[in-house]
Copies of this chain bind each other. A is one copy, B any other.
Amino acid sequence: MNGRIGVWFIGARGSVATTTVVGALAIGAGAAGRTGCVADLPGPDAAGAPDISDLVFGGHDVTATTLPKRAEALAQAGVVPAHLPAAVVDGLADVDARIRHGVLADHGPQRASADRIEADLREFRSANELDRVVVIDISSTEPPLSAAATAATASPDALEAALDGPVPVLPASCLYAYAAFRAGCAYVGFTPSPGPRPDAIAALAATRGLPWAGSDGKTGETLLKSALAPMFATRALRVRSWSSVNLLGGGDGETLADPANADSKTASKAHGLPQMLGHAVDGPLHIDYVPDMGDAKTAWDHISFEGFLGTRMTLQFTWAGIDSALAAPLVLDLARLVARAHEAGEAGPLPALGFFFKDPAGTDEHRLAAQWDALVAWCARLGSTTGGTGVTP
């Protein structure tokens, strides 16, 4: 089963995409190990997902710097090992040749943009003889939906009307998700951008029988929150304040330096804590752009809590990670597991993939261990399923 799987990146020349493709090529060539790849662990491996070497990459981007050049830059910054880009340069060039120019939300009629995305996806699938395609958004974070976009995505009719209208109303992520579903592709929203989540777009996925997952990869500080908050809750320790600071310098940091875009991210990050603790919690949540940090991302959290008889105590942690290195293996995991879900006939949001997301679609479960249990159980179920309907339209 499985066959050939296409992975189409929105943001195909960004740091995360480049790291993902370099890694997948290196793993496929036996030049790198699978550290960070959840889908290969005992438990998730029962799903019967396609192997990394079965993935064919392509995508959209609006920048012209080629993948081989981006890979070199990441190697110089220490994000990927110095020798790897040269070792996989041919594979990188192949992928780069499959990258098409992306659409911008406010350039031209939106119907035409959606049609062009859909055509690119269909062409990618047929030209590469792919059995199915997963579209993954790893482009820059968009602001939250405008009021007009909310109205335009409230129903399928409103959506079609908006697409036909002269004014660009929808954000790019919604155009991409709409086009992906129209082309019969599964979808992963790895950023906090709206993408597949508005009603009318989610309805389209349901109608077409297509699975999707999101939103916003849980790679660093929020990952730690989801491991630590349940500890406080199950020990009956009352968290009084939880202050969070994120210093990051990469492209994501620059995007998030714009307060409008940061609103999406902070909203996405803030969802889980009250859910896990059972009450609202005081404390700031900062995301700061510090260009000097480059691809490194440092988070400091300060947690003040109350124990027996009101005793006050604190926990603080500092997480020093490399953002792209944390995201890339999860992108591969999601490509493989969503492709398998598609094959097995699953449709709509996939709550069992909440393990991977800051703002999981289809579930309110944020506790990391409970998400892991749900993932393992779902993979076991998938593993006992033979195929399914997941044929491409």
A interface with B by C-beta (< 8 Å): 19, 22-23, 26, 32-38, 40-41, 76, 78-82, 84, 223-224, 227-228, 230-231, 234-238, 240-241, 243, 245, 247, 282-284, 286, 288, 290-293, 298, 300, 302, 304, 306-311, 313-322, 325-326, 328-329, 355, 367-370, 372-373
Contacts and interface: CB of A to CB of B under 8 A. Distances in A.
A224 B38 contact: no
A82 B73 CA distance: 13
Nearest 4 CB-CB pairings of A with B: A369-B369, A311-B325, A317-B317, A36-B308
* Copies of this chain in the oligomer: 4
Contacts of A38: 234-236
A247 B302 contact: yes
A309 B241 contact: no
A35 B236 contact: yes
A236 B34 contact: yes
Contacts of A286: 245, 284, 286
Contact of A35 (B282, B306, B355, B368): B306
B317 A316 contact: yes
Q: Is the interface of A mostly helix, strand, loop or mixed?
A: mixed
Contacts of A288: 243, 283-284
24 contacts: A32-B309, A36-B237, A41-B234, A78-B78, A80-B309, A223-B231, A223-B235, A224-B228, A227-B230, A230-B368, A234-B368, A243-B247, A243-B290, A245-B245, A245-B286, A282-B292, A284-B286, A298-B314, A300-B316, A307-B326, A311-B325, A313-B320, A314-B319, A368-B369
Contact of A82 (B36, B82, B307): B82
A23 B310 CA distance: 10
Given A223-B235, A300-B245, A315-B317, A35 B307 contact: yes
B316 A318 contact: yes
A286 B283 CA distance: 12
Nearest to A313: B321
Nearest to A40: B236
B313 A322 contact: yes
A328 B293 CA distance: 24
B241 A372 contact: no
Given A36-B236, A78-B78, A367-B369, A84 B309 contact: yes
Contact of A325 (B84, B308, B372): B308
Contacts of A80: 309, 311
A11 to B, nearest CB: 18
Contacts of A369: 230, 234, 367-370
Contacts of A40: 236
A35 B231 contact: no
Given A37-B308, A318-B318, 8 more contacts: A35-B238, A241-B247, A247-B284, A282-B290, A300-B302, A308-B329, A311-B322, A313-B322
Contacts of A241: 247, 290, 292-293
A137 to B, nearest CB: 19
